[in-house]
Amino acid sequence: MIKWVAAAIGYSFLRFPGAILGFMVGGFFEHLTKNSVQIRRSSYAINPETFQLNLLALSALIIKADGKIEQRELDFVRNFFIGQYGKERADSIFRNFNTQIKKEAQRLDQLTQVFVQQTAYETRLQILHFLFGIANADGHVSNVELEKLSQIASGMRLRLPDFESIKAMFVKSTDNAYKILEIESNASQDDIKKAYRRMAKKYHPDKLRGQDPAMIKGAEEKFREVQKAYETLIRLKNN
């Protein structure tokens, strides 16, 4: 399409020679555009095993963040993987992790870089949501765990409002609903509705169609939290 538009423009200035030149230049830009789209798509085509093993490695960083290993956190991870992939596949993932990854020192920056380069932003949001779930498995997210989660979010290049929104689902405070919708506590009802539409679009599970099933489940949970926050604030404004 670009090359034909360029040819028409070239013809208007230089007649037939201009049309040929425009067609050639337009074809070049069309080729660049097509390749750019292919590169972006391929950069998000992470190998499923790479995704799962690196997700386990990040999980281990959270589990060990406060210097003690909680059985409830281990069970959370195991049950999550079994629920998403089935027991046989989950056992295989854990075996591969123990033989390939666990023995090596895990660098947070290297792990997060894999996800930055090979997954979409929406997927990285769901990874953070999952990691918060691990930290909260014992009923409390410690300050040390929060710091580690913040480092991971930064490494995955997540926006601070997105981090605070997910954090608000696990670290309770009086203004959690506002944080989940990423708005101020003095927001009007119209502001709340606009924020809800924006957040619902951001976290709608359909945006992760074709991605790892574990991340789709996380998106569904986050979507429900967004809905709950919206309903809470609307009730508050109507009282």
**208 in the same domain as 114:** yes
- CA 201 → CA 114, 191, 194, distances in Å? 25, 15, 11
Domain count, the chain: 2
- Give the pTM: 0.65
Percent above pLDDT 70 for the chain: 75
Lowest mean pLDDT among 30-39, 101-110, 158-167: 30-39
Block residue for tokens 């030149």: 21
**216 in the same domain as 105:** yes
**143 in the same domain as 81:** yes
**5 in the same domain as 89:** no
* Mean pLDDT for the stretch of residues 175-191: 88
**66 in the same domain as 33:** no
Task: Kindly report the CATH number assigned to the domain that includes residue 210.
Answer: 1.10.3680
Range of the structural domain that residue 84 is part of: 48-238
**86 in the same domain as 12:** no
∠ Cα 103 69 56 (to 5°): 50
The tens digit of pLDDT for each residue in 41-50 reads 344 567 888 8
How many Cβ atoms from other residues are within 10 Å of residue 51's Cβ?
20
The whole-number pLDDT of residue 95 equals: 86
Block residue for tokens 């406060």: 66
Question: What are residue 70's phi and psi, to 5 degrees?
Answer: -90, 130
**12 in the same domain as 106:** no
**65 in the same domain as 26:** no
Average pLDDT over all residues of the chain = 79
Can you spell out the DSSP letters for 95-143?
Answer: HHIIIIITTSPPPHHHHHHHHHHHS-HHHHHHHHHHHHHHHTTTS---H
User: Of the candidates 158, 161, 134, which has an alpha carbon nearest to the alpha carbon of residue 146?
Assistant: 134
**225 in the same domain as 161:** yes
**174 in the same domain as 143:** yes
pLDDT higher for 94 or 205? 94
